[in-house]
């Protein structure tokens, strides 16, 4: 199942990447692939912006605006209430 | 019984396990250490899947919340794991310096930071506890299948009650209001006339999640709207000849029912395992105003039809 196209905020700085492979290991949707000792984004639209790759990259090569893709939390947030997801 | 109650949102808070180190089978100093949340359902599942294996289970305090949600909230983190490692004297209990973490906890744990503060290296295990024996047997290697988060029919079905409970409360309240209106003879509403609305609720919170991959389109709001439209068409075709004020009533249904299903369907994004924050924000930007305007017009028309025309 795929979600909307071309919306996610995932970004990879190849300069900083050492190809350690942690990002590919932790991603639940196989967004990364290690090609020639560098991480590459191979399936951007499958990213759910969980943030696992970014927090686990030891070289801060990944940035993503992480958060729960949850309508309830966003609506409650707009109404000024705390989020209630999960 | 316990898990049934938890899924339906009853006494969710009572299902905690005390943080600490637990042995499964007859673990020794070489046995693997698996870290998990102190949500009872998670802990019990882990214990069940590991029967026949000798292992340590390090339960950290996530305030009774499961791995995925607590990692997202930040309670399943490196500092907390380091705290329980120190509390349980883990470095004296085992001779190795490796922890197995559930893959889904990676959202909250920076493995390189945990290594720095505790001296323990992290290996991310499989997403599902049932793959653990295979993972351990293969020398702590996870296959791509073990790493992938699925969202199959069964996965979606068990999540439907969570949405349903939220909505059922509102539905019951609505019926109470109708009951009182009828009782005080302010506005008599036949219960039969509420069935189309009830159907739209079911279309949005039960059918859309269940049939998710088979409904065309990618946006949840759109999928819900589509099913709501199908349902309204069915209602109109069924009741048209019998309803004297046919056209207005049909329009009311077309304005309210799909909007209602759409709104409820988009709420299922909270339970799904593949929707991104940016994506849901984009959907909502269109879907929320559209649903409000459409349903609002419908309600106005309904009142006009009832009291003025
Ligand atoms: S975790 Fe960071 S450094 Fe390692 S492969 Fe991925 S992007 Fe590169
Ligand atoms: S944010 Fe999550 S889903 Fe997206 S690439 Fe990183 S680990 Fe994968």
Q: Which long-range contacts (CB under 8 A, 24 or more apart) does B151-158 make?
A: B151/A1, B151/B212, B151/B272, B151/B273, B151/B274, B153/B210, B155/B273, B156/B209, B156/B210, B156/B212, B156/B271, B157/B209, B157/B210, B158/B7
Cβ B65 vs Cβ B39: under 8 Å: yes
Cβ B239 vs Cβ B303: under 8 Å: no
pLDDT (tens digit, 9 = 90+) per residue, B96-149? 999 999 999 999 999 999 999 999 999 999 999 999 999 999 999 999 899 988
Indicate the residue of A28, A50, A71 with minimum beta-carbon distance to B269. A71
Convert B87-107 to b/e letters by CB count within 10 Å (16 or more is b). Answer: ebebeebbeeeebbbbbbbbb
- The residue contributing the CA closest to ligand 1 atom 6 is A23
DSSP class of B49: H
Beta strands in chain A (DSSP E): 11-12, 32-35, 38-41, 62-63
- Where in chain A are the domains? 11-78
The interface predicted TM-score of the complex, written ipTM, equals: 0.87
Mean pLDDT by runs of 10 across the 86 residues of chain A is: 89 95 94 94 94 96 88 79 60
B106: closest CA among A62, A45, A72, A73? A62
Q: Considering only CB atoms, which chain A residues are within 8 Å of B277?
A: 49, 65-70, 74
B296: closest CA among B263, B270, B265? B263
B7: closest CA among B205, B173, B163, B202? B163
- pTM score, two decimals? 0.84
Please state, in angstroms and as integers, the Cα–Cα distance from residue B128 to each residue in B68, B253, B304, following that order. Answer: 11, 43, 55
CB-count burial class (<10 Å; 0-12, 13-18, 19+) for B243: middle
Report which ligand 1 atom has the smallest distance to the Cα of A18. Answer: 3
- Where in chain B are the domains? 2-147, 153-307
Residue of A nearest to B220 (CA): A3
Q: Is the pLDDT of residue B77 over 60?
A: yes
Per-residue pLDDT averaged across B18-32, rounded? 95
**Residue B2: what pLDDT?**
46
Judge whether B41 is closer than 8 Å to chain A, CB to CB.
no
Q: Note the CATH number of domain B2-147.
A: 3.40.50.11600
**Residue A84: what pLDDT?**
55
Q: Note the CATH number of domain A11-78.
A: 3.30.70.20
Indicate the residue of B104, B148, B270 with minimum beta-carbon distance to A73. B270
């Amino acid at each position: 199942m795929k979600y909307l196209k071309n919306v996610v905020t995932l970004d990879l700085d190849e300069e900083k990447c050492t190809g350690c492979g942690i990002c590919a290991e932790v991603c639940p949707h196989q967004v990364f692939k290690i090609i020639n000792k560098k991480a590459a984004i191979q399936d951007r639209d499958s990213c759910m912006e969980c943030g696992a790759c970014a927090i686990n990259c030891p070289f801060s090569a990944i940035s993503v605006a992480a958060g729960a893709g949850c309508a309830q939390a966003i609506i409650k947030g707009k109404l000024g209430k705390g989020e209630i997801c999960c | 019984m316990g898990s049934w109650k938890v899924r339906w949102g009853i006494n969710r808070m009572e299902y905690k396990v005390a943080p600490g180190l637990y042995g499964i089978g007859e673990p020794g100093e070489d046995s693997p250490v698996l870290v998990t949340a102190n949500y009872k359902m998670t802990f019990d599942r882990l214990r069940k899947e590991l029967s026949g294996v000798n292992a340590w289970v390090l339960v950290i305090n996530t305030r009774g919340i499961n791995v995925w949600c607590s990692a997202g909230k930040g309670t399943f983190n490196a500092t907390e794991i380091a705290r329980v490692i120190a509390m349980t004297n883990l470095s004296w209990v085992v001779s190795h310096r490796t922890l197995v973490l559930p893959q889904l906890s990676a959202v909250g744990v920076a493995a390189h930071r945990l290594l720095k503060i505790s001296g323990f290296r992290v290996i991310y295990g499989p997403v599902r506890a049932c793959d653990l024996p295979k993972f351990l047997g293969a020398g702590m290697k996870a296959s791509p299948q073990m790493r992938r988060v699925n969202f199959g029919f069964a996965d979606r079905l068990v999540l439907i009650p969570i949405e349903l409970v939220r909505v059922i409360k509102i539905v019951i309240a609505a019926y109470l209001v109708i009951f009182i209106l009828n009782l005080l003879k302010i506005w008599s509403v036949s219960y039969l006339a509420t069935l189309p609305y009830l159907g739209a609720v079911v279309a949005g919170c039960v059918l859309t999640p269940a049939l998710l991959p088979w409904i065309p389109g990618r946006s949840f709001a759109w999928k819900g709207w589509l099913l709501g439209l199908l349902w309204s068409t069915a209602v109109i075709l069924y009741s048209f000849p019998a309803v004297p004020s046919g056209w207005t009533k049909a329009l009311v249904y077309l304005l309210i029912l799909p909007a209602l299903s759409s709104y409820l369907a988009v709420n299922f994004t909270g339970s799904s395992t593949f929707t991104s924050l940016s994506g849901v924000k984009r959907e909502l930007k269109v879907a929320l105003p559209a649903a409000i305007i459409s349903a609002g017009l419908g309600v106005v028309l309904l009142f006009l039809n009832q009291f003025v025309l």
